[in-house]
Amino acid sequence: MVPTRRLYQINSSRILQEIRQNRGKIRIAIAEDLDLDRSTITKVVRQLLEYGVVRTTGKFHGKPGVGRMATGLEIDPDFALVLGIEVQTEIFRTVLVNLDGEILHTETCAFEGSDLEKSVTQLIEDQIAKARGTGKPLAGIGIGLSGIVDPYEGVILKSNPLDIHEPLALKKILEKRFSCPVFIENDANCCCWSEKAFRRAPSDRNFLAILGEFRNIDIQNNRISGIAVGLGIVIRDNVLHGDSFTAGEFKSLLYREDDPGRSQFSISDDEAARLPGDTMILDRVFREVAYNISLLVNTLDITRIVIAGDFVRYPEAITAHLDSEINRNWPYPEEKTCSIVFSPDGEQSVSLGAAGLFIQKLFSVPEMTDHIDEPVGLILLDQILHRCLSSSLR
């Protein structure tokens, strides 16, 4: 049997999610669609209104054929801000957004690479000061970086680009320092969270995000210039992490083991260093990406591919190669249907996605059991209220 407190957390989170997904919806419609009694709706909505996370939005007809007017509900996007951070080998990218994903401030800062914990702490302190300047509280922080990440514990297990080879419990460190919720995630997965939080299409339950960036790929070894590609995979509307949290780690099937280089592709290090300026090498990379991706698309029945990062600057070439390779790999005479879209987030793809991760968690529903008590929905909202809004971050 589900404990009473857990059931309340679940139902409150369902109501919060329903309001976010259906702006202007009235209480009676929420009760009917969620199969909850009206007294539960009244109690929960009253509390959410008092918190300030929900607000009323004008008058709407309650039901067709009924003349009495009813008050709609919506999330107040300015209830609080969320900080999204991307960690690269040489820079940090940050974004401050409201709960609708509207960007209030962006910044790119240098990262020397010597001490990630110290550098991120200083960066967050600076961004908290920026948030204070808006007059709005900071609800929490999302961080995206390249590497193998346990997103539930917020531990960086390993990152070759960032020279991390022992587990780093960054979430615990930062939450202790700043007394607000923190989520850590792989950078390519952040691109999936951005889609889910801000541009979700109901039919797209299985999609891929391809994050391609031209940057230094190793924080040590003289900061080698090259290309980095990561995959984010969403299956049945869930971001796939894998049992070892390595889902989406990419290395080309055409990689030359007899002539190994530092890139993930069959190109040499000298060729990688000439990217993206050398168009012939660039075209080879795009073809190789498409060759590898085609098997995943057809095997997993992927219906949409989202291109993010620096790759969005090359829509014609990437689309042509993906269409060609996906259909070449497809075993049936009918053409395979898979839409290819390019993220509008530009260089903020990862940082905005990290913020989207936090926002998506805020409007998610806890599991029936609490054996994995991930802070989502009302549980996360309580943390925001008790640990952030009453703190010096306000």
Output the pLDDT for position 68: 61
Evaluate if residue 79 carries a pLDDT over 90. Answer: yes
pLDDT category of residue 67 using cuts at 50, 70 and 90: low
Of the listed ranges 146-150, 197-201, 237-241, the one predicted with least confidence: 197-201
Residue corresponding to tokens 């929960």: 44
The DSSP H or E segment spanning 211 is: strand 207-216
Greater pLDDT, 236 or 393: 236
Output the pLDDT for position 388: 52
Could you give the C-alpha distances from 148 to 157, 161, 164, 204, 240, in angstroms and in order?
6, 11, 10, 26, 13
Output the pLDDT for position 363: 97
Mean of pLDDT values over 127-135: 93
Q: Is 93:106 a contact under the CB 8 Å cutoff? A: yes
Fold designation for 4-75: Arc Repressor Mutant, subunit A (1.10.10)
- Superfamily for the 193-346 domain: ATPase, nucleotide binding domain (3.30.420.40)
Distance (Å, whole) CA 309 – CA 313: 9
CATH class of the domain defined by 81-189+350-371: alpha beta
- Percent of the chain at pLDDT exceeding 70: 91
The DSSP H or E segment spanning 379 is: helix 377-383
Average pLDDT over all residues of the chain: 91
pLDDT category of residue 393 using cuts at 50, 70 and 90: very low
Of the listed ranges 248-252, 274-278, 296-300, 365-369, the one predicted with least confidence: 365-369
Could you give the C-alpha distances from 71 to 14, 52, 57, 219, in angstroms and in order?
19, 16, 7, 55
- Percent of the chain at pLDDT exceeding 90: 80
- 81-189+350-371 and 193-346: identical CATH topology: yes
Distance (Å, whole) CA 338 – CA 323: 8
What are the residue boundaries of the structural domains of the chain, listed by start? 4-75, 81-189+350-371, 193-346
Distance (Å, whole) CA 209 – CA 172: 28
Query: Using one digit for the tens of pLDDT, what is the confidence trace for 325-359?
Result: 999 999 999 999 999 999 999 899 999 999 999 99
Evaluate if residue 113 carries a pLDDT over 80. Answer: no
Output the pLDDT for position 217: 64
Greater pLDDT, 119 or 216: 119
pLDDT category of residue 252 using cuts at 50, 70 and 90: very high
Greater pLDDT, 59 or 363: 363
Question: What DSSP string runs through 235-269?
Answer: ETTEE---TTS-TT----TT--TTS--SSSSSS-H
Evaluate if residue 218 carries a pLDDT over 70. Answer: no
Q: Is 30:18 a contact under the CB 8 Å cutoff? A: yes
Query: Using one digit for the tens of pLDDT, what is the confidence trace for 253-269?
Result: 999 888 888 889 999 98
pLDDT category of residue 392 using cuts at 50, 70 and 90: very low
How many secondary structure helices (H) and strands (E) does the chain include? 11, 15
Mean of pLDDT values over 176-186: 96
Greater pLDDT, 374 or 245: 245
Mean of pLDDT values over 138-147: 97
Question: What Rg do the C-alpha atoms of the chain give, in angstroms?
Answer: 22
Q: What angle do CA 280, 298, 263 make, to 5 degrees?
A: 35
Mean of pLDDT values over 281-300: 97
Output the pLDDT for position 146: 95
pLDDT category of residue 64 using cuts at 50, 70 and 90: low
**Buried/exposed 251-265: b ≥16 CB within 10 Å, e otherwise:** ebeebeeeeebebbb
Q: What angle do CA 225, 227, 233 make, to 5 degrees?
A: 150
Mean of pLDDT values over 63-85: 84
Output the pLDDT for position 131: 93
pLDDT category of residue 62 using cuts at 50, 70 and 90: low
Tokens of 366: 């806890």
Rounded to 10 deg, the angle between the 170-178 and 116-134 helix axes is 40
